[in-house]
């Protein structure tokens, strides 16, 4: 709480207290799969977000924070960190069919491309830290003879946002 108070105090003293929110639709971890993300920016550099979507198994969600690097250009960058769904294990075999969603932390780098005053595109490259329970499930499946495709080490998100 002290850190948030200090950040708000610093932003007000520098004339950067323009708080706003935005809502976006897109695909990837930051959108809970295929879904929507709501972001609230108490100050220009910090964005707090939550997302809800469908991740090919069930309802997926993520909650996190973004640190926006100062920029007056149409293209700006930010760092992001979140907790929520970060992988789905789908087994589609004659003897077994199952889908399981796993949750953990993810971090990454994103860019915003301003289209108009109130709209922008977001794209992110994310590094998911997959939980041990996911790794154990993969090991168990491989021990009984299933061939598992390794997931990509990084994931991508893209979405379209409107400010309000």
Domain harbouring 115, CATH code: 2.40.160.20
The per-residue pLDDT for 17 is 52
15 phi-psi bin (left φ>0, alpha ψ -120 to 50, beta other) = left
Distance CA 31, CA 63 (A): 10
The per-residue pLDDT for 15 is 47
Q: For residue 127, is it within any domain?
A: yes
pTM here is 0.85
Distance CA 67, CA 144 (A): 44
Q: Contact at 8 Å (CB) between 161 and 119?
A: yes
Find the domain containing 146 and state its range. 17-163
Distance CA 45, CA 141 (A): 44
Whether 50 has a pLDDT exceeding 90, the answer reads yes
Q: Which of 4-8, 72-76, 138-142 has the lowest mean pLDDT?
A: 4-8
Q: For residue 58, is it within any domain?
A: yes
Q: For residue 11, is it within any domain?
A: no
Q: How many domains does the chain have?
A: 1
Q: For residue 140, is it within any domain?
A: yes
The per-residue pLDDT for 6 is 37
């Amino acid at each position: 709480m002290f850190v948030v108070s200090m950040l708000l105090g610093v932003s007000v003293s520098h004339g950067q207290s323009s708080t706003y929110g935005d809502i976006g639709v897109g695909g990837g971890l930051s959108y809970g799969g295929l879904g929507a993300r709501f972001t609230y920016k108490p100050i220009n550099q910090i964005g707090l977000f939550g997302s809800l979507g469908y991740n090919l198994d069930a309802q997926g969600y993520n909650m996190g924070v973004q640190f926006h690097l100062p920029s007056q250009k149409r293209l700006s960058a930010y760092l992001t960190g979140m907790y929520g769904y970060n992988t789905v294990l789908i087994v589609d075999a004659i003897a077994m069919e199952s889908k399981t969603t796993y949750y953990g932390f993810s971090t990454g780098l994103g860019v915003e491309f301003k289209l108009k005053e109130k709209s922008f595109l977001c794209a992110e490259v994310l590094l998911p830290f997959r939980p041990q329970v996911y790794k154990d499930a993969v090991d168990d499946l491989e021990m009984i003879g299933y061939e598992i495709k390794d997931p990509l080490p990084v994931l991508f998100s893209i979405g379209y946002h409107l400010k309000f």
